[in-house]
């Protein structure tokens, strides 16, 4: 099954064209129009090449004094200018997120308009960091005003309308009927987009290991790759990827897990702790190899990126080592769409304002299939873990408010140290469907023993927040496969790919996967600044400076 940008098999009836609106700015096509005139940046027909100075500092603490040594490393970035013809293969394509993504891309591709109780609605990509937000690139020399451009215009990127769509699902329900089952989109849009989705038909058969997802999902599992041989399943998935790529003439495929949350996998020495042990465990059909890990291994072995949009620990140590071995890109975990995104902003605001959160209590209820699956204890535990770590780096950055962990006899910190009480609750309430309710209470210490309580109620269409994140993650992942770098001070002068773990995707993810041995950054502002700075570095621009020195001197 596949859906590309040229063949729908249906023509839009003339009656549907009445009142068609201009293409929304977030869906408009624009040529790459940023030209940096600098000795640091050069252009060829194939590449943009830019020099970049990575400035930092090394800090040594001695007798209560901080000794700071500024550092500078010189790099060159080389970005292939023409985006790859890209396919997006989703595991769970028949779920709420998968069907919503396919339907809304179709709506944007055909510029469908539809009727709601509020009036005429046009398709757009609101909610996408890349398509619907901007970045400051400098100032106008005449007016002195800041100049902003869409983030998607900083470097050449795939347009979401051009993605070729396909994937797997344990349910055999065709995508038009699966969209109807999800009850996310307005009826009039569903009516128009259904014939286009019907062309895709059924998802590809997937794999189902009952121990990893809730028992309440068994009724859906009627579209399965046969047998229990995990090596055979791996080869089947790899063949699916190759066929999809060949049939659609693709340069690149991003494989994306948007299926049910799995339970956490146990990390077992000799089973999934190294690449070789993991491959041997797949060959022997070891019970602790999860479906998501199997899909990740298939993508890595095919040289295609894999992104995990759910909270389970898909990337066991053996997967990360295998990605390093094959220089194949991976990213995750868990889409950050609503409550956790807000938490990463508000917790940072409070701590940076010198206010001490004492407790953060988060409650959710929702009625879609994600909520149904999370009503099982082991699957909820995966979600609880990904949601609970979001404030850790803000706390670690301020030991004026929070006591540091004690240092053990070997000089290693014991535990986390002082930390806000943090609780997460998720309940399944079928009546509310995809309309998730999230309630948060932040209870904080303020000046001289005072207390402050902030309560937030958030109602949102879960899949309509998640879908733009899937698009952003897919498009950014494709871009990062086209970026190479070299250190100007090293012996190797060849450009090499980025490290396989794509931590630059962190802005869209609750529990960002990072290079082993490095700290996780959960601060939303720092994640956004890192991404902006990287995109600018690839065209030879400096990072944003909010110093605005010219406004503070004569």
Annotated catalytic residue, options 169, 333, 334, 440: 334
Annotated catalytic residue, options 230, 245, 341, 510: 510
Strands (E) in 376-461, as ranges, are 406-407, 413-414, 421-428, 435-445, 451-461
The verdict on whether 381 is a catalytic residue reads no
382 within 8 A of 373, measured Cβ to Cβ: no
- Of 386, 387, 406, 405, residue with least CA distance to 396: 405
Distance (Å, rounded) from C-alpha 47 to C-alpha 31? 16
295 within 8 A of 306, measured Cβ to Cβ: yes
Phi, psi at 135, each rounded to 5°: -135, 145
Distance (Å, rounded) from C-alpha 206 to C-alpha 226? 9
The verdict on whether 393 is a catalytic residue reads no
Distance (Å, rounded) from C-alpha 416 to C-alpha 406? 9
The verdict on whether 383 is a catalytic residue reads yes
179 within 8 A of 100, measured Cβ to Cβ: yes
Distance (Å, rounded) from C-alpha 308 to C-alpha 505? 11
Distance (Å, rounded) from C-alpha 323 to C-alpha 327? 6
Phi, psi at 63, each rounded to 5°: 50, 40
User: What does 112-151 look like in DSSP terms, one character per residue?
Assistant: --EEETTEEE----TT-HHHH-EEEEEE-TTT--EEEEEG
291 within 8 A of 262, measured Cβ to Cβ: yes
Distance (Å, rounded) from C-alpha 383 to C-alpha 201? 31
Q: In 3-state terms, the chain is what percent helix, strand and coil (to 5)?
A: 35, 25, 40
Annotated catalytic residue, options 356, 436, 462, 472: 436
Strand partners, 206: 224
Q: Is 411 helix (H, G, I), strand (E, B) or coil?
A: coil
**Running DSSP on this structure, what letter comes out for residue 83?**
P
Q: Is 156 helix (H, G, I), strand (E, B) or coil?
A: coil
The verdict on whether 85 is a catalytic residue reads no
Establish how many alpha carbons lie within 13 A of residue 147's alpha carbon, considering only the half-sphere containing its beta carbon.
11
**Running DSSP on this structure, what letter comes out for residue 509?**
B
3-state secondary structure 297-344: HHHHHCCCCEEECCCCCCCCHHHHHHHHHHCCCEECCCECCCHHHHHH
Distance (Å, rounded) from C-alpha 406 to C-alpha 546? 37
**Running DSSP on this structure, what letter comes out for residue 210?**
T
Q: In this structure, what token pair is assigned to residue 504?
A: 């630059």
Distance (Å, rounded) from C-alpha 405 to C-alpha 419? 10
- What amino acid positions are annotated as catalytic residues? 334, 383, 436, 510
């Amino acid at each position: 099954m596949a859906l590309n940008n040229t063949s729908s098999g249906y023509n839009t009836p003339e009656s549907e064209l009445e009142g068609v609106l201009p293409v929304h700015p977030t869906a408009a096509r624009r040529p790459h129009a940023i030209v940096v005139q600098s000795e640091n940046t050069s252009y060829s027909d194939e590449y943009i090449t830019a020099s970049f100075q990575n400035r930092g500092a090394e800090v040594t603490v001695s007798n209560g004094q901080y000794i700071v040594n500024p550092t500078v490393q010189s790099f060159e970035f080389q970005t292939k200018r023409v985006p790859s013809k890209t396919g997006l293969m989703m595991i769970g394509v028949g779920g709420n997120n998968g069907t919503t993504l396919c339907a809304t891309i179709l709506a944007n591709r055909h510029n469908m308009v539809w009727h709601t109780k509020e009036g005429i609605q046009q398709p757009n990509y609101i909610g996408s960091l890349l398509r619907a937000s901007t970045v400051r690139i400098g100032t106008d020399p005449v007016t002195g005003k800041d100049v902003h451009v869409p983030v998607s215009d900083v470097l050449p990127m795939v347009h979401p309308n051009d993605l070729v769509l396909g994937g797997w699902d344990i349910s055999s329900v065709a995508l038009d009927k699966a969209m109807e089952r999800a009850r996310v989109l307005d009826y009039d849009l569903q009516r128009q987009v259904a014939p286009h989705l019907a062309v895709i038909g059924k998802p590809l058969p997937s794999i189902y290991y009952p121990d990893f997802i809730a028992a309440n999902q068994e009724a859906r599992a009627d579209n399965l790759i046969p047998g229990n041989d995990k090596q055979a399943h791996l080869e089947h998935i790899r063949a699916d990827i190759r066929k999809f790529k060949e049939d659609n003439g693709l340069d690149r495929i991003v494989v994306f897990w948007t299926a049910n949350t799995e339970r956490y996998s146990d990390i077992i020495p000799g089973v999934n702790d190294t690449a070789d042990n993991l491959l041997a465990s797949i060959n022997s059909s070891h019970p602790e190899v999860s479906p998501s890990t199997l899909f990740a291994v298939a993508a890595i072995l095919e040289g295609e990126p894999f992104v995990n949009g759910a909270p389970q620990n898909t990337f066991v140590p053996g997967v990360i080592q295998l990605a390093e071995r094959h220089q194949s890109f991976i990213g995750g975990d868990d889409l950050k769409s609503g409550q956790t995104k807000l938490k990463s902003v508000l917790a940072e605001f409070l701590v940076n304002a010198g206010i001490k959160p004492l407790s953060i209590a988060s409650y959710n209820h929702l009625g879609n299939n994600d909520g149904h699956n999370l009503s099982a204890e082991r699957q909820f535990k995966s979600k609880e873990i990904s949601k609970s770590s979001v404030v850790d780096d803000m706390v670690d950055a301020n030991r004026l408010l929070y006591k540091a962990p004690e240092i053990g006899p070997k000089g290693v910190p014991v535990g986390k140290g002082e930390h806000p009480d943090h609780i997460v609750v998720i309940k399944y309430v079928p009546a509310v469907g995809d309309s998730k309710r999230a309630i948060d209470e932040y209870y904080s210490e303020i000046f001289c023993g005072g207390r402050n309580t902030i309560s937030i109620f958030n109602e949102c269409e879960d899949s309509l927040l998640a879908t733009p994140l899937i698009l952003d993650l897919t498009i950014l992942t494709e871009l990062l496969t086209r970026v190479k770098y070299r250190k100007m001070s090293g012996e190797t002068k060849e450009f090499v790919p980025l490290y396989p773990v794509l931590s630059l995707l962190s802005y869209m993810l609750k529990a960002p996967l990072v290079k082993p041995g490095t700290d996780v950054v959960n601060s939303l502002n720092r994640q956004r600044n890192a991404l902006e700075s990287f995109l600018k570095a690839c065209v030879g621009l400096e990072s944003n400076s909010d110093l605005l020195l010219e406004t503070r001197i004569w």
